[in-house]
Chain A
Amino acid sequence: MDDLSEIAKSLVERDITKTKELTRVAINANIPAQEILNKDVVAGMQIVGEQFGSGEIFLPELLMAGEAARAAMILLRPLLTGQKGGRGYTGKAAIGTVQGDAHDIGKDIVLMMLEANGWDVTNLGVDVAPEEFCTAVKENAFQVLGLSALLTVTMPAQEQTIEALKAAGLRGKVKVAIGGAVCTQRWSDQIGADCYAADAAEAVEKFRLLIQ
């Protein structure tokens, strides 16, 4: 923790007000948004992710840290988008819960963690049909598409979505990640997904590896 910046520390401490204020101070000091994102926000959320992954913190603490990161991102986002040269974001992704399934808390936590780690993420919502996923991929430059399913009865929709991407000639355009309570690595391999993530912390790492 001693090596962490003050913004990163405030994130790890889950102090929303302090994170927001320190981010504002850094912006006003003309520190580039990209640097604040990488050295402060992402660095802090990496620690948070490790804490969650190791069982040191749980959902309440993770979500509070996510709120702190969101507060920083609200200030940084306009500056990152307008940045000249180089990519402002770590990567670009979209996540949705598959057709027939309305569960969203897991998906939203993954979204929050990805955003806090510098991703430009689009929330496609719940009960998303395979055709809708295809349209989203066709019309955007997503690098990773996340498919969430929490029920055994809706897991087949993950496979159907991958098949729909193939049929539309879009499978090569995007990496596909799956997740959800009933999903496993075995299922991911069976349906031809590019990766399976067991939780939000793992999703951040695996999404990063997918676009390397």
Chain B
Amino acid sequence: MKTLTGAERVFKALQLQEPDRVPFYELPNNKIKEEILPGSSDDDVIEYFDLDAVRVNDRKLPGYRIETLDASRFRNQWGTIMRVMSEYDSPHPVEGAIKTEKNLDTWHPPDPDEPWRYEMLAELVKRYKGQRAIIASFQDPFNIANEMRGAAAHYMDFVRNPDLVDRLAGLIRDYYLRYIRNCIEVGAEIILFGGDYATTKWPMLSREHFAKHVIPVLKALVDETKSRGAYFVKHTDGNIMPIIDMILDTGIHGLHPIDPNAGMDLGEVKKKYGHRVCLIGNVDCAYTLTWGTVEEVREDVKRCIRQAARGGGYICMSSNSIHSAVKPENYVEMVKAIRDYGKYPISI
């Protein structure tokens, strides 16, 4: 097979076909990036490692933070107060804006049509379209609602006030339906929604609650994406096996990360669902990439490729992210191992 572009490679995998080699597009955390290539920009790392896709995350856009409260806290566009724990890791919600249902009466969602939201995406499209797949990523409405209400209150709403659950989810969904449309018009080719549906043990909610209140929102986002010709990838950590059928029934193209820390077996998931969805991830970042040796990283990459890459439909990535505790040499080894063992036809 001729050598494909990164974009072609990723699209073939999402179409459940075999590309020339297993795709990879994970950018490391800024701290790791600085240790591997001091003084480099994201574009430098993308080019250096020849990543197959590039990504803009709406939570990292400057306008996502609408008010700085003090040295470590800010208010985001949803009204949630977030706390920055470290410059290298994601901020954490500390207080939501919707403490009571009445607050929702006077709350207004952000405006998805503001031009600044698409400037970074437009830059990536201009620079990389046709070479590397263009990903626009966001946070799942379920998880945004958790932050806006406070997790405990939101979970209890599913029992005591499901109308509020649906009302809040609907407002966030409608924002993202517009946002998805705009991103695809600008040139996004893959829409990725992150946000966990499960703990390491099992889902946060019952199947019934997922079916009634969460899956319909996900399906609306998937339908909008597919109707405009783009791919849809869903990220969720945790053991999602009790609800994986519902997630797949929405029609997603890709599922990340098949969390090994939650006992998700990549081989088993490939056997049962590999004909329905492209699997993405599973190289362990909780232990192997963090504390393992380069040999252990190499073996874990080989395991993932062996378990999921044959026949296509697999993108090799970590089991969450290349976070600040990952050893830089392990990230480098991971990329090398994917190149070494990921050529089709798979021979390991």
- Listed in ascending order, the chain A residues whose CB lies under 8 Å from chain B are 14, 55, 57-61, 63-64, 67, 100-103, 105-106, 108-109, 127, 151-153, 181-182, 198-199
Given contacts A182-B261, A182-B286, contact A60 B159 (CB under 8 A): yes
Contact of B199 among A61, A67, A181 (CB under 8 A): A181
Contact status A152-B201, CB under 8 Å = no
A105 to B286, CA, bound (A): 20
A153 to B200, CA, bound (A): 17
How far, in Å, is B200 (CB) from chain A's closest CB?
5
CB-based closest 8 A-B pairs: A102-B92, A153-B325, A60-B158, A105-B151, A60-B155, A59-B155, A60-B159, A182-B286
**Chain B residues bordering chain A, tally (CB within 8 A):** 33
Residue of A nearest to B91 (CB): A102
A-chain residues with CB within 8 Å of residue B159 when the two chains form the complex: 14, 60-61, 64
Contact status B323-A64, CB under 8 Å = no
B-chain residues with CB within 8 Å of residue A101 when the two chains form the complex: 85
A109 to B200, CA, bound (A): 15
Q: Identify which of residues 178-199 in chain B touch chain A, using a CB-to-CB cut-off of 8 Å.
A: 199
Q: Is B285 an interface residue (CB 8 A)?
A: yes
Given contacts A153-B324, A199-B201, contact A60 B209 (CB under 8 A): yes
How far, in Å, is B265 (CB) from chain A's closest CB?
17
Q: Kindly name the residue among A59, A108, A127, A198 whose own CB sees the greatest number of chain B CB atoms within 10 A.
A: A59
Contact of A108 among B86, B152, B242 (CB under 8 A): B152
Contact status A63-B155, CB under 8 Å = yes
Q: Is B290 an interface residue (CB 8 A)?
A: yes
Residue contacts A-B, CB under 8 angstroms, 10 given = A59-B204, A60-B156, A102-B92, A103-B92, A105-B151, A152-B290, A153-B89, A153-B325, A181-B261, A198-B200
B-chain residues with CB within 8 Å of residue A63 when the two chains form the complex: 152, 155-156
Contact of A152 among B86, B155, B156, B286 (CB under 8 A): B286
Q: Is B203 an interface residue (CB 8 A)?
A: yes
A159 to B236, CA, bound (A): 28
Contact of A100 among B85, B94, B206, B209 (CB under 8 A): B85
Contact of B325 among A14, A105, A152 (CB under 8 A): A152
A-chain residues with CB within 8 Å of residue B237 when the two chains form the complex: 181
Contact of B204 among A58, A103, A151 (CB under 8 A): A58
B-chain residues with CB within 8 Å of residue A105 when the two chains form the complex: 151-152
A147 to B151, CA, bound (A): 20
Contact status A127-B85, CB under 8 Å = yes
Given contacts A63-B152, A152-B286, A152-B290, contact A199 B325 (CB under 8 A): no
**Per-residue CB proximity of B146-169 to A under 8 Å, as 1/0?**
000001100111111000000000
A127 to B94, CA, bound (A): 12
Residue of A nearest to B237 (CB): A181
Given contacts A59-B205, A127-B85, A199-B199, 7 further A-B contacts (CB under 8 A): A63-B155, A102-B92, A103-B92, A152-B285, A152-B325, A181-B200, A198-B200
